[in-house]
Amino acid sequence: MDLESRPGDFDPMSFKRATLEEIEGVPFPHDLQKHWDLLQGFKARPDDLLICTYPKAGTTWIQQIVDMIQHGGDLEKCNHSPIYERMPFIEMPPVIKPLPSGVEQADKMPSPRILKSHLPVQLLPPSFWEQKCKIIYVARNAKDNVVSYYYFHHISKLMPEPGNWDEFLENFIAGKIAWGSWFDHVRYWWEAKDRHPILYLFYEDMKEDPAKEIQKVAQFMGLELPQSVLNQIVQHTRFDSMKANPMTNYSTLPSSILDQSVSPFMRKGIVGNWKEHFTVAQSEQLDDVCARLLQGSGLNFRTQL
């Protein structure tokens, strides 16, 4: 769907940036509130595969990997439409017309579906647990995650104003940003994998050895990847390939929604970019909070490779 060709459907002048409203103690962009009951009644199907992440942890990357695995490494087959049309973002309210809400989009889609969500584990619609759907979760270290989220707030008109970097970091640490506490998110999803079919991956591992992590994903999906297909997938899901691909780089969204002249969606794609943003004091503060809030979880994040 070419949104640029239908500018009348989205009026940037009347579009105000979101404010945050809490749902069960977790802040979300306010539009989600009136959509909540519909979302909670979402009808998952047993063969759905859900991709879940904290925002900016590498969602688009794992989405493209999963899609390429499902299509046997054939980029042409994946490239029939932008990634957000291939995989409904289930909690997306119907704010970007003519795009339907994530729930409507998913309801119309034939099985097997691949779905995307950023919901914390306790707020996932219950049917995903009832149907025992497979879930792939990707976690990224807090420092790179918050930097990426900060830039995203600048370019996405669907997010609240971020304030300056110091303020944004404070709000991130306090969990007072959209989709809530990163610490709770990564920790509670980690604990959930002991009672549900969840493949828990790390952005840093994907960066270090993409082929190995792609194999894990394929195995989880119950598929075998011949070496030639694996090579294709590694090549087409590299950062530079996805940055150049209009079907994965979000350039198909109008700048009135996502202004990539401010910062590209595919921004850096590395481990350790946080070093260019954090002061020494901020880095130590976040290390301390991570150590405290993740203590005893068994979770360990790498902030450099």
- The region of 27-35, 194-202, 265-273, 280-288 touching ligand A3P under the rule CB under 6 A is 265-273
Report how far residue 266's alpha carbon sits from residue 269's, in angstroms, rounded to the nearest whole number: 7
268 is an interface residue for ligand A3P by CB under 6 A: yes
CB of 178 to ligand A3P, least distance (A): 12
**Which residues, numbered 185-224, are part of the site for ligand A3P (CB under 6 A)?**
none
Binding characters for ligand A3P, 87-126, by CB under 6 A (x = yes)? ----------------------------------------
| Contacts with 206 (C-beta within 8 Å, 6 or more apart), sequence order | 58, 61, 62, 138, 213
Q: Which of 151, 168, 190, 301 binds ligand A3P (CB under 6 A)?
A: 151
61 is an interface residue for ligand A3P by CB under 6 A: yes
| Contacts with 160 (C-beta within 8 Å, 6 or more apart), sequence order | 17, 18, 19, 20, 29, 153, 177, 178
From residue 268, alpha-carbon distances to 118, 137, 165, 168 in Å are 21, 21, 18, 19
Q: Tell me if residue 118 is catalytic.
A: yes
Judge contact between 44 and 127, C-beta under 8 A.
yes
58 is an interface residue for ligand A3P by CB under 6 A: yes
Q: How far is CA 31 from the centre of its chain?
A: 18
Q: 139 pairs with which residues across the strands? A: 202
267 is an interface residue for ligand A3P by CB under 6 A: yes
Report how far residue 160's alpha carbon sits from residue 178's, in angstroms, rounded to the nearest whole number: 8
The catalytic residue among 35, 71, 80, 118 is: 118
Q: Which of 35, 59, 115, 178 binds ligand A3P (CB under 6 A)?
A: 59
CB of 225 to ligand A3P, least distance (A): 18
Instruction: Please give the backbone phi and psi of residue 277, each rounded to the nearest 5 degrees, phi first.
Output: -125, -35
Report how far residue 269's alpha carbon sits from residue 117's, in angstroms, rounded to the nearest whole number: 20
CB of 230 to ligand A3P, least distance (A): 15
| Size of residue set near ligand A3P by CB under 6 A | 20
CB of 13 to ligand A3P, least distance (A): 27
CB of 72 to ligand A3P, least distance (A): 19
56 is an interface residue for ligand A3P by CB under 6 A: yes
- The region of 26-34, 169-177, 226-234, 236-244 touching ligand A3P under the rule CB under 6 A is 236-244
Q: How far is CA 233 from the centre of its chain?
A: 19
CB of 248 to ligand A3P, least distance (A): 7
Judge contact between 290 and 182, C-beta under 8 A.
no
Report how far residue 224's alpha carbon sits from residue 245's, in angstroms, rounded to the nearest whole number: 26
* Catalytic residue annotation: 118
Q: What residues make contact with ligand A3P under the rule CB under 6 A? A: 53, 55-61, 144, 148, 151, 237-239, 242, 266-269, 273
